[in-house]
Amino acid sequence: MRKLCVILVVAVLGLSGITAAGEVVLRVATWDTAEGLHWTEVAMQRFMDEHPGIVVKLESIPQGYDDRILTSLAGGNPPDVFLWWNLPALAERGGIEPLDQYDINFDNIAPALNAWAIYNGRIYGVTKDYSCEVIWYNKKVFDKFGVPYPTDDWTWEDFRRVVIQLTHPDEMIYGTVFLEDPTYNFEEWAEMKGGTLISPDGTTFDGYLNSPETISAIKFWTDLVLVDKAAAPPDVVESMGGNYEMLASGRVAMIETGTWFEGYLKARHLDVSDFGVVLLPRPQDGERKNMMNTSFWCLASASRNKEAAIELLKWLADEGGRTQAEGGWALPTSKKVAEDLGLYEDPIKSKFIMALDSAVLKPPFLRTPLWWEAFEQYLADALDKILIGGEPVEKALNWAVEQSEKAKEG
């Protein structure tokens, strides 16, 4: 009996050795599930067809993705290639490798996207896909109140006017909702006014968050809530089911969000043509700026199969997101692929590609890895103080500056 066990164990070990001998197995992690995962699998399969000898094992982590990747990094055996978005956090700590030292062609990817993968002058990721902040509007609400649809060259004053026109409290319809995310929504509005949330080198709020330009941009939005009562505050939005639900059901006329609303409509079998997309308005005397949301394929520093991983990253950069774009799942990262697939003719998808040209190039969280810990939460608290606590904008923002300075010393 003992002898049989020993033979079995040795056999199993030996066999697993044989399969590993000729091939390299790459572990690749993604947070995509269902349809998104399917298109990634198709792309990986195409890569494997062109690269016999490399096997890609795709791991989908739908829940607690960040926590899982962090613990795998702590344990010293992260996936070789994984999807990530908060590059500075890992780049700063040496968890991912800079990619400019390898033979990867980044020219195929739109420059704005590459700009978001750069930290401290080095590029750390191959963009997988992206979304740009735009305004989605419900055509039926506009039709109901006889307001013409907005056009891409509209201004902040046009936006405010339309928001007020479309707000009808008696019917519980709002013109728009308050911006939901301090990091992803406010930098663009501040930059449009010539301000910014945090210093370019990412070291301080002081002089930036409380600059007249930034204050006026934030005040524009808080006034929409508190003075014009035309933008629904966050608690009302939550209690009405969220901004997507409100837009889909016509409780709100316009919301600022990215590409994901289209997927939301499709999942509920709602007609996408009942909705329109327009680029963000620009201030009277300024240019439009919009934020993006990007995800990148990164190379783990602790990977033991770097050569094969680089081949994969190279292939992904050259492919420019073609597979997922052909499947209609996400936008390609390459403008050339967008042209080939006729995406510039699509009334909705074309907007996102156009928005790349007005993208914010260095968002706050890419300027410093301390954004979340020493800055963002104080801005979020300040916004709550203004909306819930009724504090004046300048006072609340100065408070945030103070708190952030104190936190940095700690």
**Half-sphere exposure (Cβ direction) of 286: Cα atoms closer than 13 Å:** 21
Q: Does 240 bind other proteins (CB under 8 A)?
A: yes
Q: Does 335 bind other proteins (CB under 8 A)?
A: no
d(CA 263, CA 312): 28
Q: Which of residues 208-237 bind other proteins (CB under 8 A)?
A: 234-236
Q: Two tokens at 408?
A: 């940095």
Instruction: Please tell me the count of residues contacting other proteins according to CB under 8 A.
Output: 34
Q: Which of residues 22-81 bind other proteins (CB under 8 A)?
A: 66-67, 70-71, 73-74
Mark the segment that binds other proteins (CB under 8 A) among 265-273, 283-291, 339-347, 385-393.
385-393
Q: Does 267 bind other proteins (CB under 8 A)?
A: no
CB of 239 to other proteins, least distance (A): 4
Nearer to other proteins, 373 or 394 (CB): 373
Please pick, from the candidates 79, 125, 150, 182, the single residue that binds other proteins as defined by CB under 8 A: 182
Tell me how crowded residue 40 is: count the other CB atoms within 10 A of its CB. 23
Mark the segment that binds other proteins (CB under 8 A) among 31-39, 158-166, 343-351, 386-394.
386-394
CB of 367 to other proteins, least distance (A): 16
d(CA 350, CA 371): 32
Q: Does 353 bind other proteins (CB under 8 A)?
A: no
Please pick, from the candidates 372, 399, 402, 408, the single residue that binds other proteins as defined by CB under 8 A: 372
d(CA 204, CA 401): 8
Please pick, from the candidates 93, 266, 336, 395, the single residue that binds other proteins as defined by CB under 8 A: 93
Report the sign of the C-alpha dihedral through residues 36, 37, 38, 43, in that order: positive
Mark the segment that binds other proteins (CB under 8 A) among 100-108, 129-137, 177-185, 245-253.
177-185
Q: Two tokens at 319?
A: 């492919």
CB of 167 to other proteins, least distance (A): 17
In the block, tokens 């956090």 appear at 89
CB of 377 to other proteins, least distance (A): 6
Please pick, from the candidates 146, 148, 390, 410, the single residue that binds other proteins as defined by CB under 8 A: 410
C-alpha 208 chain-centroid distance: 23
Please pick, from the candidates 274, 340, 346, 373, the single residue that binds other proteins as defined by CB under 8 A: 373
Nearer to other proteins, 66 or 153 (CB): 66
Nearer to other proteins, 152 or 373 (CB): 373
CB of 184 to other proteins, least distance (A): 12
Query: What residue ranges bind other proteins (CB under 8 A)?
Result: 66-67, 70-71, 73-74, 89-90, 93-95, 178, 180, 182, 234-236, 238-240, 369, 372-373, 377, 380-381, 383-385, 387-389, 406, 410
